[in-house]
């Protein structure tokens, strides 16, 4: 198959509202069942199964089976980055929510959320800005973890040094946040920051959506670690 044909086939995978909704939901980094995704997208289970099969065959999703249950998730960081990059090209102001719950979910996602395995929204951007202000990140002309940044991740943040080595994935990557229209940290460093905040109980998920909230202990930790004012993130 020619490269142009491959590109057309890849684009066709997301050229459907239901499949696009599945991929956006799976940006939370978790594995979902077909029935969960069907309910999320408002389609019949048989319709969901058909669309999921196409996404798996196209390489955007992978399937995992546990007992009688079938789970799917994004195929990896590259698949997540593709969906995230396309989402960042959407209108800055999303469609207005139709319900009170929808309004609350939309605001929660804008305040803080996971984007596959790193943090996004105002929380992700604020952490990125604070790291740059401390000299832990260099954002001029891209995104790079500094020597001080490596020391900070493996020292005060308590990350395993092995997490930063032995991968072909970029150590640090600038990701355009689709709600803030500013950079948040992705790549290995972004994943490490996110995992450490979850492990410390400093962020928690909000309901079943990929929104996250900063906990009181997390607010204290970010103030101590990054001199970050948590008030705008918890209001």
- pLDDT, tens digit, 9 for 90 and up, residues 30-60: 889 999 999 989 999 999 999 999 999 999 9
The answer to whether residue 7 sits within a structural domain is yes
Single residue among 75, 109, 128 that ends a domain in this structure:
75
Determine the Cα–Cα distance for residues 226 and 228; give it in Å rounded to an integer: 5
The answer to whether residue 191 sits within a structural domain is yes
* Intra-chain end-to-end CA distance of the chain, in Å: 52
The answer to whether residue 81 sits within a structural domain is no
Q: Do residues 44 and 113 share a domain?
A: no
Determine the Cα–Cα distance for residues 235 and 216; give it in Å rounded to an integer: 12
Q: Do residues 200 and 128 share a domain?
A: yes
The answer to whether residue 43 sits within a structural domain is yes
The answer to whether residue 95 sits within a structural domain is no
The answer to whether residue 83 sits within a structural domain is no
Confidence at residue 91, expressed as pLDDT on a 0 to 100 scale: 62
Write the CA distances from 76 to 39, 185, 187, integer angstroms. 24, 17, 12
Q: Do residues 105 and 36 share a domain?
A: no
| Side-chain half-sphere CA neighbours of 145 within 13 A | 21
Confidence at residue 107, expressed as pLDDT on a 0 to 100 scale: 80
How confident is the model over 54-86, as pLDDT tens digits?
Answer: 999 999 999 988 877 789 999 988 888 888 888
The answer to whether residue 178 sits within a structural domain is yes
Per-residue pLDDT of the chain (235 residues; tens, 9 = 90+): 788 998 899 899 999 999 999 998 898 778 899 999 999 899 999 999 999 999 999 999 999 888 777 899 999 888 888 888 888 777 654 555 444 444 456 787 888 988 888 999 999 999 999 999 999 999 988 899 999 999 999 999 988 888 887 677 889 988 888 788 888 999 999 999 999 999 999 999 887 567 899 999 999 999 999 999 988 887 6
Q: Do residues 69 and 126 share a domain?
A: no
Q: Do residues 48 and 136 share a domain?
A: no
Confidence at residue 103, expressed as pLDDT on a 0 to 100 scale: 47
**Tally of domains in the chain:** 2
Q: Do residues 49 and 108 share a domain?
A: no
Single residue among 20, 41, 75 that ends a domain in this structure:
75
Give the structural domain span for 28.
3-75
The answer to whether residue 87 sits within a structural domain is no
Domain with residue 45: its CATH number is 1.10.10.10
For 7-61, give the DSSP string. HHHHHHHHSSHHHHHHHHHGGGS--EEHHHHHHHHT--HHHHHHHHHHHHHTTSE
Percent of the chain scoring above 90 in pLDDT: 52
Determine the Cα–Cα distance for residues 103 and 121; give it in Å rounded to an integer: 16
Q: Do residues 28 and 132 share a domain?
A: no
Q: Do residues 124 and 179 share a domain?
A: yes
Q: Do residues 126 and 212 share a domain?
A: yes
Q: Do residues 129 and 229 share a domain?
A: yes
For the chain, give the DSSP string. --HHHHHHHHHHHHSSHHHHHHHHHGGGS--EEHHHHHHHHT--HHHHHHHHHHHHHTTSEEEEEETTEEEEEESSHHHHHHHHHHHTTS-SSPPPPSSHHHHHHHHHHHH-EEETTEEEHHHHHHHHHHHHHTTSEE-TTS-EE-HHHHHHHHTTT---GGGGSS-SS-SSEEEE-TTT-SEEEEHHHHHHHHHHHHHTTSEEE-TTSSBEEE-HHHHHHHHHHH----HHHH-
Averaged pLDDT score across all residues of the chain: 86
Q: Do residues 51 and 108 share a domain?
A: no
Q: Do residues 120 and 228 share a domain?
A: yes
């Amino acid at each position: 198959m020619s490269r142009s044909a491959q590109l057309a086939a890849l684009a066709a995978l997301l050229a459907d509202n239901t499949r696009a909704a599945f991929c956006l939901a799976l940006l939370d980094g978790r594995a979902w069942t077909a029935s969960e995704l069907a309910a999320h997208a408002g389609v019949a289970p048989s319709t969901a199964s058909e669309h999921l099969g196409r996404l798996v065959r196209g390489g955007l999703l992978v399937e995992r089976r546990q007992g009688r249950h079938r789970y799917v998730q994004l195929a990896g960081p590259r698949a997540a980055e593709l969906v995230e990059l396309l989402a960042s090209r959407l209108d800055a102001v999303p469609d207005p929510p139709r319900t009170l719950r929808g309004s609350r979910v939309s605001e929660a996602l804008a305040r803080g959320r996971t984007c596959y395995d790193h943090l996004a929204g105002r929380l992700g951007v604020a952490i990125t800005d604070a790291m740059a202000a401390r000299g832990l990140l260099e954002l001029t002309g891209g995104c790079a973890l500094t020597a001080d940044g490596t020391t900070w991740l493996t020292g005060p943040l308590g990350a395993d040094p092995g997490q930063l080595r032995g991968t072909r994935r970029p150590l640090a990557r600038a990701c355009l946040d689709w709600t803030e229209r500013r950079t948040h940290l992705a790549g290995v460093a972004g994943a490490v920051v996110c995992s450490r905040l979850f492990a410390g109980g400093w962020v928690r998920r909000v309901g079943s959506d990929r929104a996250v909230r900063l906990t009181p202990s997390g607010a204290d930790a970010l103030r101590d670690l990054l001199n970050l004012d948590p008030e705008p993130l918890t209001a």
